[in-house]
A and B are shown apart, each in its own frame.
Chain A
Amino acid sequence: MNVRVPAQVLESLLIPVSALLAALLLFGIFLACLGNDPLAVFHSMVRGGFGSAFAWRNTLERAAPLMLTALCTALPAQLGLIVIGGEGALVVGGVSAALAGGLAFEDQTPWLAIAAMLIAGTAAGGAWIGLVGWLKHYRGINETITSLLFNYIAIALMNHLVTGPWRDPASLNKPSTRPVGSAHMLGDMPGLGVHWGLALALALCLVCYTVFRQTTFGFAVRIAGGNPRAARLAGLPVGLLTLITCFWAGAAAGLAGSIEVAAIQGAANASLAAGYGYAGILAAFLARQNPLAVIPVALILGGISASAGLLQRSHHLPDAAVLMLQGIIFITILSSETCYGRLQPWLDSRRRA
C-alpha cells in the first residue's frame, strides 16, 4: 500500500515528459514534411537555447516573465479556477509601471523610481485579475471567459494610451510612453548579465509554492477549490480566498509587465503584448499548476523561444514555427490529462499477474 504515493509522483513526471516528447515527434514530422532534417533543427534549438552564454542569457530573460505569467494561471488553479488572463494583467502592469516610472517618479532617486514601478505594476495586475475573481465569485461569471476578454480590453486600452494621451511625441515609428530613463532601469545581476527580474521571478515561485502548499492559507485555498460547500461548512471565507488568490495571480503577471518595462523596453509599447501571457498558460499546464515546477518548465519554453532566431537564420523556418511547436505542446499536454490515475491499476494488475 506504500506504492500509491510514488505512482502518483511518477505519473506527474512521466506524463508531462511523454507529452512533451510526443509534441516534439509531431513537430519533427511537420519539419520533415517541410523538407527539413528534424534532428538538425532540434540540435539548433538546443544550441540556440542553451548552447552558449549568450543563448543562456537570452533564455533566462525570456524565462523570467514566463514564470510569472505561469503563476497567473497556476495560482487560481489551486482554487479550481481556470484563469487565462496573464497577457492582460502583464500589459496592464507594464503600462502602470511605465506611468509610475516615466511620469510620477521621473525626478526621484533611482531605487525609489524602480520600487514605484514594480509596485504600481504589481498592484495594477493584481487588481485586474482580482476583478475577474470578484466577477466569478459574486456575480457567477465564468472566469475563463472574463479573463480572456479582459486580455483584449487590456491590449486595446494600452494601444489607446500609448498612441493617445500618454504618447511620447519623440517615439515616431513605434508609439510608446515616455521612456523611464536609463538611470531608472532595473539593472543586471552582477556576474550573470541577466536583469534582476529573474531573481524576483524565481523568488516569487518559491514563495508561492510555500504559501500555497504549506501554509494554512494554502490549505484553506485547496479546501475551497476542492469543494466550496465543505469550505463554507468549515467557516472559511470562500469569497475572500478567491479575491486574495486572484490578486496574487494578477500581481505576478503585473510584475512580469513591470519588469519588461523596467528592465527591457524602458517604456510601455505594443511589444508588451508579445505573447508571454499566453505562453504562461502553457507553462502552467505543463507544470501541472505546481508553482515550483513552473521554474524548469519556463526554462524549457524560454529556451525554445530563444532559439527562434537561430532557426530562422540557419533553417529558414518562419518565425511562427516556434509558436506552432508551442501549440502542439499545448494540445498534447491537454490530451495527456486523461492519462492520470491509470498507472496504479496497471501496476496492480502487473503485480497480480
Chain B
Amino acid sequence: MNDLAGCGYPGHAAEVSHARPALEAIGLCKRFGPLQVLDEVSFKLGQGAFHALLGGNGAGKSTLVKCVMGYHAADRGTVLVENRECAIGNPRDAHRYGLGMVYQHFTLVPEMTVLENLVLSRLPIPAMIRWREEKQRLAALMEEMPFSVPLDRKAGELAAGEKQKVELLKQLFLQPRILILDEPTSVLTPQEADSLLGMLKKRTRSHRLTVLIITHKFREVMDFADAVSVLRRGKLVYSGPLAGQTPARLAELMTGSEEIARTVTREKVEEKPVRLEIDRLDVASDHGARAVKELSIRLRGGEIFGIAGVSGNGQQELVQALSGQRRPDRGAIRIDGSPYAGTRREMARFRLRCLPEEPLRNACVPRMSLAENLALRTFDRPGFTRWRWFVDAKAQKTQARELIERYRVHPPEPERRLDTLSGGNVQRLVLARELSGQVELLIAANPCFGLDFAATAEVRRQLMQARNRGAAVLLVSEDLDELLELSDRIAVMFEGRLTYESWTAEADLDTIGLRMAGH
C-alpha cells in the first residue's frame, strides 16, 4: 500500500521545480557485497527547492548522496546537474559542478585549526594564503550565522556539535549552488537548528541555493521542506511535494509495518541511596584549558539527571572523565562511596556503562567485526573465555547474534566489519552493547544523535526502563525536549559549571534558555 511511488508525477513535480531541475538522479543502483543498498533510485531536485530525504537507519540515504557526490561510484545510473549529464568521479568533481555536502561523519583534519580547515577546503587552494584576510572574511560570514565557532582551536579538540557547525560553515564559505546536508542538525539545539535552516531557506527563496537535507526530525521537515523523498531499504517509496503529507503518513512510508516502541511511563521509585558523587571536579580539555570547573553532582539510583547546554561547554570532557577516557585534574568521583578511576574492574563492579557522543569515534573499533565490537565489555568475563585466558569467539558470536536481533542492527551479520554499517546502526550497536546486562549507572551523551524516530523512541524507552529498574542515569544532551521528557532533575552547564539546577517538573524554560546562553 505504501508503494504508490509519487516519483516523477508530473503535476507535482512542476509545482516544486519552478523551472528545470537543479539536480536529477536517474536509476541509481549500488551494491555492497551481497547487499543491494540502492535499487533504481530516481529523484529530482527542483531549482531552489528545500528537499528533505527521509528513511530509517540503514535505508541508504547516506549512500545515495555519496553516490551523487562521487564519493562512492554508483553501479548504475546517471546524475544530471541542470539537465546536463555529469560524470562525477570524486567529490572534487562535484565541487566543480557546484555541489557541496556536509557529511554525517566529520571530515575535518583533526590536527589543523578550524581556520586552516576552512581555508584549505577551498579549491583550488591559492598558492599564497593571506591568513589575516581569510580570517576577516570568515568572521564576517559568521556574523550572518546563528552561531559562531572558535577559529583558532584545533578541529580535533571540538565537541561534536561544534564540529558540525564548522562543517556547515565550511560549506557556506564555499558557496555551492546545491547543498546536500547529511543529518546536519542532529547535534544542534532546536533553536540553533531552526535559525540555521531558516537561513538556508531564505537563500533557497531567492533561488541562490538548492538544498537536499537528510534528517530524522519530522518537525524540521514539516517546518522547512517543500518537497520530500522517502527511502525504505534502498527503494524510493515516495518523492514529491510535502503538501498533503503528515508526520504519521511519512513515518508509515519510512517503516512500512515495523512496530514502534511505545513510551514507558515514569514510575514512582522510592528514594535510593546516592550512587554517583562528583565532588568539585576539574577536568582539562585537550589544549589544557579548564573545561570542567569545580563541578559537583550527586546522583541517586532510580533517577535521571539531565544536563542541558550548548555543545562545547565542558560536557564532552565531563563525560570523558566519567567514561575513563580522560583523567580529571582535581576533585573526586565516587561511586557507591568508593573512589572511581575509570578502570575496567571498577566499571564491571559498579556496572557502569557509557553512551558517548560520536560512537564511531569513541566507542567502536572500526576495523573489527560487529561481534568483536559487541564483546568489548565482556570479552574477559566468565562465559566468554576458554581456559581463563583465551578468547571464546563462539561465545562472542552467540552473544552478537542475540544482541543484533534484539536491537535490530541491520544488516544482521556478526562477521561484518563495523565501519560498513550506517551511522544509525553503529549507534544501535553501541546501545546494544552498553544497555545489555544489568546497568546500574549509565552515562549517556546525546544518545539519540543520528537515530531514526523508531530507534529514538526505543532508546528513550530503554533509558526510562533502566531508571525504573533503579539505575542512576546521567543524561547529557543538547536536545532540550529530550531532557524535559526524560529527566527527573535538570541542570544547565555553561563554561564548565552547572549554572542552573531544578526538578524538571518545576523547571522554568525561560531561565533555562537564558542560562544556556550564559546570562
Of A214, A226, A348, A349, the residue contacting B390 (CB under 8 A) is A214
Contacts of B218 in A (CB 8 A): none
Q: How far does the alpha carbon of A344 sit from the alpha carbon of B343 in the complex, in Å?
A: 40
Taking a contact as CB atoms under 8 Å apart, the answer to whether B380 and A230 are in contact is no
Q: How far does the alpha carbon of A352 sit from the alpha carbon of B31 in the complex, in Å?
A: 10
Residue B363, interface by CB 8 Å? yes
Residue B168, interface by CB 8 Å? no
Q: How far does the alpha carbon of A349 sit from the alpha carbon of B29 in the complex, in Å?
A: 13
Contacts of B385 in A (CB 8 A): 216
CB distance from B323 to the nearest CB of A (A): 5
- Nearest B residue to A348 via CB reads B33
Taking a contact as CB atoms under 8 Å apart, the answer to whether B415 and A219 are in contact is no
Of B356, B389, B415, the residue contacting A216 (CB under 8 A) is B389
Given A1-B33, A219-B391, A235 contacting B342 (CB threshold 8 A): yes
| CB pairs A–B below 8 angstroms (8 shown) | A215-B389, A220-B379, A232-B324, A233-B325, A234-B347, A234-B376, A235-B344, A236-B344
Residue A217, interface by CB 8 Å? yes
Taking a contact as CB atoms under 8 Å apart, the answer to whether B362 and A230 are in contact is yes
Taking a contact as CB atoms under 8 Å apart, the answer to whether A233 and B362 are in contact is yes
Contacts of B343 in A (CB 8 A): 235, 237
Given A214-B391, A215-B391, A227 contacting B366 (CB threshold 8 A): yes
Q: How far does the alpha carbon of A219 sit from the alpha carbon of B396 in the complex, in Å?
A: 12
Residue A178, interface by CB 8 Å? no
Q: Mark B361-383, 1 if CB is under 8 A from A, else 0.
A: 11111111000100111011000
Given A219-B379, A227-B366, A235 contacting B347 (CB threshold 8 A): yes
CB distance from B97 to the nearest CB of A (A): 26
Residue A4, interface by CB 8 Å? yes
Of A1, A222, A232, A237, the residue contacting B325 (CB under 8 A) is A232
Q: Mark B56-77, 1 if CB is under 8 A from A, else 0.
A: 0000000000000000000100
Q: How far does the alpha carbon of A348 sit from the alpha carbon of B343 in the complex, in Å?
A: 44
Residue B345, interface by CB 8 Å? yes
Contacts of A9 in B (CB 8 A): none
Contacts of B10 in A (CB 8 A): none
Given A223-B368, A226-B365, A232-B324, A348 contacting B31 (CB threshold 8 A): yes
Taking a contact as CB atoms under 8 Å apart, the answer to whether B368 and A5 are in contact is no
Taking a contact as CB atoms under 8 Å apart, the answer to whether A230 and B365 are in contact is yes
Given A216-B390, A233-B325, A226 contacting B366 (CB threshold 8 A): yes
Residue B413, interface by CB 8 Å? yes
Taking a contact as CB atoms under 8 Å apart, the answer to whether A233 and B324 are in contact is yes
7 closest cross-chain pairs (CB), A and B: A235-B344, A226-B365, A216-B380, A235-B347, A232-B325, A234-B376, A1-B34
CB distance from A122 to the nearest CB of B (A): 22
Taking a contact as CB atoms under 8 Å apart, the answer to whether A223 and B324 are in contact is no
Q: Mark B314-356, 1 if CB is under 8 A from A, else 0.
A: 0000000001110000000000000000111111100000101
